[in-house]
Structure 1
């Protein structure tokens, strides 16, 4: 396999390709003469259909074989064209960046898997922080194509998930969630990750941090810690471990959004009514009792008042708001509407 096959007499020689497999320690099949990288890889696959991941475990039956996408063909000379078996026809900006690093690493230095693995981990972090776009399957591909099992780390990507949330890289969040096989859990309007601080007194969590996602992918572990009053340092041992389910987060988020909507409505309505309270067509003070009544209305009623406030007399006042006013104010409003229509 290490010798270059010669072209038949009278035919131009085919390009030469160095075919390798991404296994522990690397596996090279030498130079292969073929018209393109795909055919060079096919020659190797047909002659050596299975390859052990490493020489030490080769005799073991349970040792998996290298899959098709682990083969790489690099063109000798010229532009150094690279062909990867099973590679998608197009790649995201993040994958292009990582592929370039993988294909061109250590050309100026000696080979070191430790150095390459560290560089790849940092490169993924940089791609997330720089806002590069990730396709939905990218982290599955990164793990498979670039030997991710050796450098993804003990948390297997959870650290990147926190970084993606911090830098608002939605595409990276979605790709990581696809790899994790779980849907996002939201707290105070943001996804939570390992390390997210949780302040939830109603759930008897006066202050804690997410330490892990449970295997069911539907709950998280939150730990609280004692604080040394002298050094202000957090203890290493948690005082409590609390499991919080996804449905609890969903209910809390629903209530939070409802309160935010109510606060926004009341702020806009209060500002509007106070602005026009001195208008001769609105001769009544804005009382706390009036605002309290409006606050208890359903969202649809509050919305109609906000729309009227925005229109400012160009449309009739909603009947439910008009009913809160004294009779004299109602009569004045009727005159104002009639004058506007005339």
Structure 2
């Protein structure tokens, strides 16, 4: 059944070159997580069976390898790209908070164990295999990583690192160019996360209101800061998708707000959007930014930051019913504010 939203944590695998490698080296694994105990409980723990004093991480249902075919357009031609993937459910046992009865005795395992099933995707694309864990719980992410094998998980993933100014560039394109990223892709809506995007238990901490109308975000950008996470609605001829993304390409996909615009493949809706997002949309966004980065960083970013700053000033003056004379008291020379108003290329009606 399709979820309303899916949180995805992305990892690059190392020493794994194909889905066959995944099946041989990862999907045959299990992991044993011991019950934590104090030194005073050592004798009691030694008397327990292995099943009673351990929690087990194992693989459950595993799909057959599947293939998603996508058309990729460039200046010269339209070519087909194939993405191979499979889905595997991780069955996780983990402890409840209460481990002892009222007399201080360790409870039977059945009374102190929780169970959860985490959906994972293994995606083979451009000669690299990635792991996608569908969970927002950091503890469960750690458990699945242990089941996969931390030695198979790379420390970094340059291919999916988001350039530091890409989100600011998207905001610029939304405000200045009506969200047109190129002939095929439009940014329909954008919202912003400011500051820390990760808390102790969840990958994403929350969303803001619409960023284009959010004065605090404009102030953030005009002060030279960089957005580290955004929520965006993007549309091309294939899809209309709403998703949040951070600087490491961890995402949250809002399935109920997203639609296929073509009968592309027979996959479940959530599966399709996960594979499409990581194999096509995120690489495309990085490519578009890389093409525009030189001009954006050399001139457009500074001018846009100044414009956002002026809009912040205008909003503060309006919200607080301030006069130009009130504002001019902040400056040593009364004419400074007038000079800001008359700055070339920007018109701000105070």
Q: TM-score, normalised by structure 1?
A: 0.27
> Which structure has the greater CA radius of gyration?
1
More helix by share: 1
More strand by share: 2
- Structure number with the bigger relative contact order (C-alpha 8 A, sep ≥ 6) is 2
